[in-house]
Amino acid sequence: MNFSGKYSFESQENYEEFMKALGVPEDAIDHGKKMKFDTVVVQNGDEFSWSQIYPCHTTTNQFTIGKESEFEMLNCEKVKITAKIEGEKLVMKFPKYFHTVTIEGDKLIETSVSGKITLRRFHTKTT
């Protein structure tokens, strides 16, 4: 599975509840739920560059499958984790949530689970 491409944000489910579970302040949640962004993934074998491009800033995580790397989480904290590939999924276990990424047709689907709350983000491939 190759995740490379540029993806435009389409929609999300349970954003507010999920961010509250991570302890994100209410004003940041309100700001973030309205924000549209692009995701650009460059995959070269097991090496990834994963950027989320927002109107006000860009977050880029660079990592290699199976090697510990620094990641910026959804709540902007930085942690070291090891990304894995399990079947057709990119899998990451963050301290406060479990994150998977899959591709279905022209959709990139991110699923983050914290306790009983699941955040799903849907992106459409543009290139």
> Treating both helix axes as pointing N-terminal to C-terminal, what angle do 26-33 and 15-22 enclose, rounded to 10 degrees?
150
- Mean pLDDT of the residues in the chain: 93
CATH number at residue 33: 2.40.128.20
> Strand locations in the chain, DSSP E?
5-13, 38-44, 47-53, 58-64, 68-72, 78-82, 84-86, 89-93, 98-104, 107-114, 117-125
**Which range of residues forms the domain containing residue 71?**
5-125
Domain count, the chain: 1
Q: What is the pLDDT of residues 18-31, one digit of tens each?
A: 999 988 899 989 88
Give the pLDDT of residue 120: 97
Q: What is the pLDDT of residues 66-80, one digit of tens each?
A: 999 999 877 778 999
* pTM for the model: 0.91
Give the pLDDT of residue 75: 73
Q: Could you identify the residue written with the tokens 């090697």? A: 67
Q: What is the pLDDT of residues 55-114, one digit of tens each?
A: 888 999 999 999 999 998 777 789 999 999 999 999 999 998 999 999 999 999 999 999
